[in-house]
Amino acid sequence: MPFLALAPDVLQPIVGLLPTPDALSLARVSHSAHALALPRILAHITLGGAFHRPVHALSPNAQLRAFCASVLAHPVRAPLVRSIELRRDAVRRERTYETDPDAVRLLAHVLTRARGLQRATLWGLTQLVDACPSIVDALARCDRLTTVVLGGDVPALAVLQRAFPHVRTLEFVEGACFAPGSPAAAASRGCGWHALDRLSAARPPAPTPSAPVRTRRLTLRDPVPNDESAIARTLAFIKHARPLVLSLAVAADVPDAAFVERLHEACTGDGTAGSAGVRFLELSLSGCRSLARVESWMVSAPSVHPPSTRSAPPNPADMTLTPSPPQTHTAPHLSALPLAGLALRSSTPAAFPTPRPTPAASPLSSPPLLPADPAADVDALALDPDDRAQTVYGAVRRAPPGVAGLARAVGDALPGVRWLALAPGGPVEDEQNGGGNPKADVRVRCEWFEVVGKGRTRARCVGEEEAVRVRRRLEGMGRWD
C-alpha cells in the first residue's frame, strides 16, 4: 500500500514526528504530500539567526518577509502556526542594526491571524513596539498564547501585560533588560497578571502598583548581591508576586541580617486574595567553595578553644571542641514561614579542605586530615568549619558533618517542615556524561529527607524515586487549587 494511501488519522501522527527538513522534502513529492506536510512545517517557525543559517539561505530579513508574504497570501496557513521564535536580526535592515518598520508591520499582520499560536520567543520586543505599536494589540489577540520567552530589551510590565493577557508561563532569558522609559510604556495600562503559573527571570523587574503580578512559582536565577538597593528590589518583588514556590540564590558575602532575616517579611502570606505565603523554598548559596562554610551557613558550628598555655606548640589531642547550643544560621529566620518543604544547597562546587592555596586554608603546620568514620553518629554541631579551625595553631582538621546530621539540625529549627533537600557540595557532573567532558551535564543533586518525630528530630533519607515524586508535588503546589 502506498504511504499516502493510508488513512489521515494514521498519516498525521506520523508526519508530526518528522523533523522539519524531512517534512519539507515530503512536501515536494506531490500536491497531496504538500497538504499533508504543511501543518508540520508551519507548526514551529524560527526566523533569523545569521550565525546558524547556510550560506545559500536567505538573509534573516528576507526570511521574515518571505514567511509573512506566504502566510498573508494563503489565510488558511496562519492558524497552523503553533510557536514562533523571532531573533534580533530578522527585523533589522540588510547589513545594519536599524529596525525595519515595514518588516515589523508585516509580522503584526501575521500575528493578527495566528489564532492558534501557543508559544512565542521574542528578542528585542522593545524595538518591535517602538517600530510598530500595533504589534501589542496583534499579540493580545492570540488568546491561546500561554508561554512567552523574552530576551534582549524588554518593555515595561504594563506593556507586557497588554500584549500577553493570557500568558501562564513567562520567562526572561539571559540578556533580558527592562526598559521602563519606553515611549509605549507611558501610554499603556496593563490589566495585570493575577494567575501566572510560572515566572522566571535573572533579576526581578521593578514592581508597580498599576501592573500587579501574581504568580504561583517564582524563579530568580541571578544571586542576590551585597547591595542594599538590589536586596530591597528583590524583597519588594517577592512580596508583590506572592508565590507559593520560590527559588532564588544569594551571594556568599551577603550578611544574614541583610537578606535571610528579612525573607519572612516578603514570603509570609497576608491572607488577601488567597495568599498563603511561600510553601516550598529553594535557597542557594553562591560563590563559596568551602564545604565547611556552606554547612556552617546551614548549621552553625562550635568554637575551638586552644589551651591557655602558649609556651609550647599545643598537642592536637588536647584541643577541645565545646559544643554550642543548637543554633542555625538560616533555618531560624525561616521558621515563621508556612513551609512544607525547604531546599538548601550550594550553587558553587564546594570541597573540604577549601580548594584554594592560601596560608589560612592550608598552613604548613596543620596535621593531616583525619579520616571520617561513616559508621559513627556525627553530631553536626560538634564540628568546626575548616577555615576557622586551621587558623588556630595545631587544630585538628576533621571532615565536615554528614548530610544526615545537617538534616537533623535543620529539622530541629524548623518543626513545621516535613521535607528537606540538602546539597552542600554543590553541582556535580552527570555520571553518564562526565569523565572530563566540558559539555557534560552539570546539576545540583540534593539528598532528600523526611523530618519525623517529636522532640528529638529524626530525618529519614528518601529514596531517589520517592524524592522525584516529592519534588514534583512540592513544585506543583497550588497548580490545581
Lowest mean pLDDT among 101-115, 389-403, 441-455, 456-470: 389-403
For the entire predicted model, the pTM comes to 0.79
The pLDDT score that the predictor gives to residue 54 is: 62
Q: How confident is the model at residue 95 (pLDDT cuts 50, 70, 90)?
A: confident
Residue with cell 513596539: 129
Q: Exposed, middle or buried, 358 (CB in 10 Å: 0-12/13-18/19+)?
A: exposed
Position 396 pLDDT exceeds 60? no
What is the percentage of the chain residues whose pLDDT exceeds 70?
72
Given a contact cutoff of 8 angstroms between Cβ atoms, the answer to whether 364 and 280 are in contact is no
Q: How many CA atoms lie within 13 A of 389 on its CB side?
A: 29
The pLDDT score that the predictor gives to residue 162 is: 93
The whole-number average pLDDT for the span 240-250 is 93
pLDDT tens profile 446-479: 889 998 876 556 778 888 899 999 999 999 988 8
The whole-number average pLDDT for the span 163-188 is 73
**CA R_g for the chain:** 28
The pLDDT score that the predictor gives to residue 401 is: 59
Strands 213-220 and 245-251: parallel
The mean pLDDT value of the chain amounts to: 78
Report which of 190, 150, 143, 189 is spatially closest to residue 167, judged by C-alpha positions: 143
Is the alpha carbon torsion for 87, 441, 172, 163 positive or negative? positive
Distance of CA 437 to CAs 296, 404, 430, 445, Å?
Answer: 32, 31, 10, 19
pLDDT tens profile 337-377: 888 999 999 998 887 666 544 444 444 343 444 444 444 44
Backbone angles phi, psi at 341, to 5 degrees: -145, 145
Upstream peptide bond of 325 is cis (omega within 30 degrees of 0) = no
Query: Quick one: cell of 279?
Result: 510553601
DSSP state of 180: T
Pick 378 or 259 by higher pLDDT: 259
Position 130 pLDDT exceeds 90? yes
The whole-number average pLDDT for the span 152-161 is 90
User: Between vectors from CA 235 to CA 213 and to CA 342, what angle results, nearest 5°?
Assistant: 95
Position 399 pLDDT exceeds 80? no
The whole-number average pLDDT for the span 170-192 is 65
Pick 4 or 364 by higher pLDDT: 4
* Neighbour-count burial for 408-427, b at 16+ CB within 10 Å, e otherwise: bbbbbbbeebbbbbbbbbbb
Position 394 pLDDT exceeds 50? no
Backbone angles phi, psi at 423, to 5 degrees: -145, 75
Q: Exposed, middle or buried, 85 (CB in 10 Å: 0-12/13-18/19+)?
A: middle
Q: How confident is the model at residue 387 (pLDDT cuts 50, 70, 90)?
A: very low
pLDDT tens profile 307-345: 343 444 444 444 343 333 333 467 667 878 888 999 999
Please list, in sequence order, all residues whose beta carbon lies within 8 angstroms of the beta carbon of residue 327, skipping any fewer than 6 positions away.
300, 381
Is the alpha carbon torsion for 273, 274, 278, 280 positive or negative? negative
Position 420 pLDDT exceeds 50? yes
